[in-house]
Amino acid sequence: MTTRLRLAQCGLSAGKKARLHRILYKHGLGNGTALFLPYDQGLEHGPRDFFADPIASDPKYIVRLALEGGFNGIAIQVGLAEKFYWDYAGEVPLILKLNGKTDIPSDRSALSPLHACVEDAVRLGADAVGYTLYVGSPAQDADFAQYRAVRQEAQRLGMPLIVWAYPRGEAIEHKGGKDSFYAVHYAARVASELGADVVKVNFPHPEKHTDVPAAYAGEFSSQEAIDEVVRAANRTMVLVSGGSRAGDEVMFEKAQESMSAGATGLIFGRNVWQRDHDESLRFVDRLRQILAKYPTP
């Protein structure tokens, strides 16, 4: 089992440390691990994601579910934060997502435009902001410049910055795909190099190695791959994404391997709310049981 990263090792300003301490030790299990509920899919994928359980299309239901489930925070876009978060402000931490795009255009030159700023996050009582960075996109020049402005504003205001480090673009698709070990490993390192406080990554698939660099062409277990992804992030805390809905045992194994690798926590959305209320809470309870085994004093 890898040693988990502590806040004192992260080089944080006082404001960032205070907000992350509140998220990690005053909410959820309060043991330094994290379980976040993302709800930005309505923009990113459209309302089709709510067909599995139509009540999930109601943002108020989702914020209440985050509170009932004992999540460390909920990640939502600015419009939903302004209209729905105030009902539960202070009861469950807000991660304000600053950028996002639809999935209608191709991802060949993916770029996620800004819709909010760090000052909006302060106004809304957020404890962190989220930024999607498309690693490998031909639009990376514009993406990096946009990200740099957000990072500087977050540093000035003492707001933790969580980077959704997502490999995208035609070159990525020709080198194993967006969730290959190569792509996810690279994305974790890029987020750290560019100053993320926390990085959200997909779980790597080492079996996807068509035309990847030679170093990734060998045989790696899923545990070895996620170990290396967390190591690549060094002093940036890692959250592992749930991704598309999958079987429960598959998700529990993913959670177990991620936490064993030294991840700070999990950020599971569709696997939580694409099911009825009581089943969602039972699923979350199993995730919390896994997190409880990995306290960070």
Catalytic positions, written as ranges: 166, 200
Give CA–CA dist 131/155, Å, rounded. 14
Q: Tell me, what DSSP letter sits at residue 216?
A: G
Q: What is the DSSP string of 75-137?
A: EEEHHHHHHHGGGGTTTS-EEEE-B---SSS-STT----B---HHHHHHHT-SEEEEEEEET-
Q: Tell me, what DSSP letter sits at residue 45?
A: T
Size (the chain), residues: 297
Q: What phi and psi, each to the nearest 5 degrees, are found at residue 151?
A: -60, -45
Question: Dmax of the chain from CA atoms?
Answer: 52
Q: What is the DSSP string of 153-212?
A: HHHHHT--EEEEEEE-SHHHHTTT-TTBHHHHHHHHHHHHHTT-SEEEEPPPBTT--TT-
Going by C-alpha positions, the residue among 163, 98, 175 that lies closest to residue 134 is 163
- The terminus-to-terminus CA distance of the chain in angstroms comes to 16
What token pair was written down for 80? 């939903």
Q: Looking at the DSSP assignment, which residues form a beta bridge with residue 238?
A: 199
Give CA–CA dist 293/297, Å, rounded. 12
Residues ≥6 apart with Cβ < 8 Å to 53: 273, 274, 275, 276
What token pair was written down for 173? 């698709």
